Chain A
């Protein structure tokens, strides 16, 4: 018989702020049975992280438990003092985090950090302190348990020498040192590439099986949740709006929010509605090779080489050639480190290519400098990955959107004001937003502001560098749809960079796949997705499909 390991009853939490108390969690009821995996899905700001942090007693400062309790294996966690927590935190409940790099100390080897955790556990549980060799053996055992092939070598490495997936494995190994009953995973795969994400999820599944671990995993990615969790809860604005078996929720979501969330998940194997419609109206120019249409942007043999401190060089981009037709959406897909962002910046001459030629709108921009390059920038704009840091926090939205006008045109005062209002209209934001500061806006709104800024000068080409990867799924869907509309409205050409295959499929006409600075495959999006030729593309698609909606049902 399975007993409940964690029982949350009517848990209500407020956080005091300057503007008064904010009700972050409202009457949360949740039960986790031993050996079970529970997923918690929700957007950013839904309170899911605050909830799991409260389970660890590391909730935000100035938070107050208004009502309810969290009972873990018979102990009421909401009344524990520090001494009580020491016996639970990290020993019986442990946690892994979103960004493995920031949670590892760069100054110590992986082995040292795990050994320290082992020693701390021995202290906390009152066991005699194990010797150095014993701890090393234990640490290596843990590392091999989390699927690291040569633990002896990894033991002596520093975090920066490991890949993102390896780091996350190390963090998991660390979390397992105390042989916890409950493992809380806070977005464990969000910062990872698709292929690595699939492996880490696989690992969590294995651990649940072999160690009879109980896992609570939070994520905004429904696919990831569905892969590991048999039961899941959907959080929305501090409430659990729906919980039950993951399968049931995915098949027939009952709450309106869950339905919206699921509908927003882009699907790898679904030919998107909007863009195929556009294609029908206007047969894609690149298909008719005979037509005299000239490409808007051509890059030939772009290379970027960085010198290393100890001599030697790194080839970030190694001979990439591409061309973009007017009105087309070219996708560049690849994992982190594949050089796709470097290509984007080289296309716009924000990074100097080591060699190669870029022709934009009929003229070479490779040799341009100073004023000429500045003028050229009007026609090509970049939208950044992270809208939160792409806007200067000291400028109002109006200043931010008006900035390109002030720099590039002779417009002044009233005219700029008017144009800013028009642009806000174009990106479907209220006019009064021009008085707001970026920190008052949500992620999706900020990205709209960034887009408004980018289109302010009527550019011909928009390079979008992962424009939606920092956003929630439902917001991502809105932004993508909006980008499609905008393209039609303003006659734009997009170069769309993403690691998310489903997004690429939804929006791009043609796609190139990059790996380690080289283009491995290139062609029409549908052709690439349906009949991938290169084995890397196949691997990418396979791992992408694992967490896609179709695989779950």
Chain B
């Protein structure tokens, strides 16, 4: 409970007005910090974001990320000169991995963003409207969910032609049904709440109810799913890159790098190890972050 004097007539300061919000955030922070795995996930994600933001300007060999060839330095093992070694073109793997973070982040944001942008409104409408609207939306959703996502994406990229943009479009197309499912289920629960009926009784229109009452109460699971999906989307894009449908070389894309490096295993292990580790740590980070967010946002899994 707050200790603010509520009876005073003087205008309240920002801190006092938002005391509840601040307390809530402090509680979240407290719970989040209490869990090692959440903090570890957050650290990885923050590191990834920093690299994506400033990576290209701090790497030691920026020209190597755009396809510079230096045959004298090909396939050098990790050392002081080249921390992660070099690849078959003599490019610095450290530089390429770091610059690749930006591509991966872009992929993750676009895919989950598009997925949520399409899926969340469809899910809310399906859950709130019910009837044949819901039946239509949900059957189409199930149709998409019934086909293995990556296989469908593969088919789409194959027909659109390889490339990073097409790869993202394909993955976004297979990504939205998950959001529809999640949001529809949540909406079905929220729309039975009294405050929705209350809003209806004061004459609120459906869009108002959806925007002000249903959506805010669906946000927690959406945020959690988006955080987890960032990792999954990066992994899927790397998968498409691995089979050659992603960014064309020499673009520093992690999946594509592992794909090329595959033929240099195991003698030149560093070539596939470092991009692989980058994918692994990023996906792990987003998943742990998502887990941590779920723990603090979902009241059922909370101990208090």
Contact = CB atoms under 8 A, between A and B. Distances in A.
Interface stretch (A234-242, A427-435, A479-487, A543-551): A427-435
Contacts of A433: 6
A61 interface: yes
A408 B1 CA distance: 33
B212 A403 contact: yes
Interface in A451-475: 453-454, 457
Interface stretch (B121-129, B162-170, B201-209, B276-284): B201-209
A101 B205 CA distance: 35
Nearest to A398: B17
Interface stretch (B40-48, B136-144, B192-200, B255-263): B192-200
Given A62-B304, A430-B7, A350 B201 contact: yes
B219 to A, nearest CB: 8
A384 interface: yes
Given A377-B201, A392-B217, A433-B6, A384 B194 contact: yes
A381 B304 contact: no
Contacts of B26: 18
Contacts of A364: none
Interface of B: 1-2, 4, 6-8, 12, 16-20, 26-27, 30, 193-195, 197-205, 208, 212-213, 216-217, 303-304
A389 B194 contact: yes
A435 B200 CA distance: 23
Interface in A414-467: 430, 432-433, 435-437, 440, 450, 453-454, 457
Contacts of A377: 201-203
Interface residues of A, number: 39
A407 B208 contact: yes
B202 A350 contact: no
B200 A62 contact: no
A378 B203 contact: yes
Nearest to B4: A432
Nearest to A392: B195
Contacts of B4: 432
A450 B202 CA distance: 11
Contacts, number: 91
A457 B201 CA distance: 12
A270 B71 CA distance: 102
A436 B4 CA distance: 11
15 contacts: A18-B304, A62-B303, A382-B198, A389-B195, A391-B198, A392-B195, A392-B216, A392-B217, A395-B216, A407-B202, A435-B19, A435-B20, A437-B20, A450-B198, A453-B198
A403 B303 contact: no
A404 B203 contact: yes
Given A61-B303, A381-B202, A407-B208, A436 B20 contact: yes
B202 A440 contact: no
B19 A374 contact: no
B12 A432 contact: yes
Contacts of A408: 202-203
Contacts of A386: 194
Nearest to A373: B203
A52 interface: no
B253 to A, nearest CB: 40
Q: Which 5 A-B pairs have the closest CB atoms?
A: A377-B203, A404-B202, A374-B203, A430-B6, A394-B216
Interface of A: 17-19, 61-62, 348, 350, 373-375, 377-378, 381-382, 384, 386, 389-396, 403-404, 407-408, 430, 432-433, 435-437, 440, 450, 453-454, 457
Contacts of A61: 303-304
Contact of A381 (B8, B201, B213): B201
Nearest to B8: A432
A19 B200 CA distance: 37
A375 B204 CA distance: 10
A389 B19 CA distance: 22
A18 B6 contact: no
Contacts of B198: 382, 384, 390-391, 450, 453
B13 to A, nearest CB: 11
Nearest to B200: A350
A350 B197 contact: yes
Nearest to B213: A392
A389 B193 contact: yes
B232 to A, nearest CB: 28
A382 B197 CA distance: 10
A428 to B, nearest CB: 12
Nearest to A408: B203
Contacts of A437: 20
Contacts of B217: 392-394
Given A61-B303, A382-B198, A437-B20, A374 B216 contact: no
Given A392-B216, A430-B7, A18 B27 contact: yes
A186 B201 CA distance: 35
Nearest to B190: A392
Which of B16, B203, B204: most chain A CB closer than 10 A? B203
Contacts of B200: 350
Contacts of A348: 201
A457 B202 CA distance: 9
B195 A391 contact: yes
B203 A453 contact: no
Contacts of B195: 389-392
A348 B198 CA distance: 11
Given A377-B202, A404-B203, A437-B20, 4 more contacts: A373-B203, A390-B194, A403-B199, A432-B8
A377 to B, nearest CB: 4
Nearest to B216: A394
Contacts of A62: 303-304
A394 B203 CA distance: 20
A403 B199 CA distance: 8
Contacts of B212: 392, 395, 403
A424 to B, nearest CB: 11
B218 to A, nearest CB: 10
Nearest to B1: A440
Contact of A382 (B12, B201, B204, B303): B201
B60 to A, nearest CB: 46
Nearest to B197: A350
Contacts of A407: 202-205, 208
B193 to A, nearest CB: 6
Nearest to A439: B20
A18 B30 contact: yes
A440 B204 contact: no
B123 to A, nearest CB: 18
A374 B199 CA distance: 11
A452 B197 CA distance: 17
A435 B204 CA distance: 22
B201 A403 contact: no
A384 B208 CA distance: 20
Nearest to B195: A392
Contacts of A390: 194-195, 198
A430 B8 CA distance: 9
Contacts of A453: 198, 202
Nearest to B202: A404
Contact of B18 (A350, A403, A435): A435
B44 to A, nearest CB: 27
A159 to B, nearest CB: 21
A377 B12 CA distance: 35
A351 to B, nearest CB: 10
Nearest to B7: A430
Contacts of A350: 197, 200-201
A392 B202 CA distance: 14
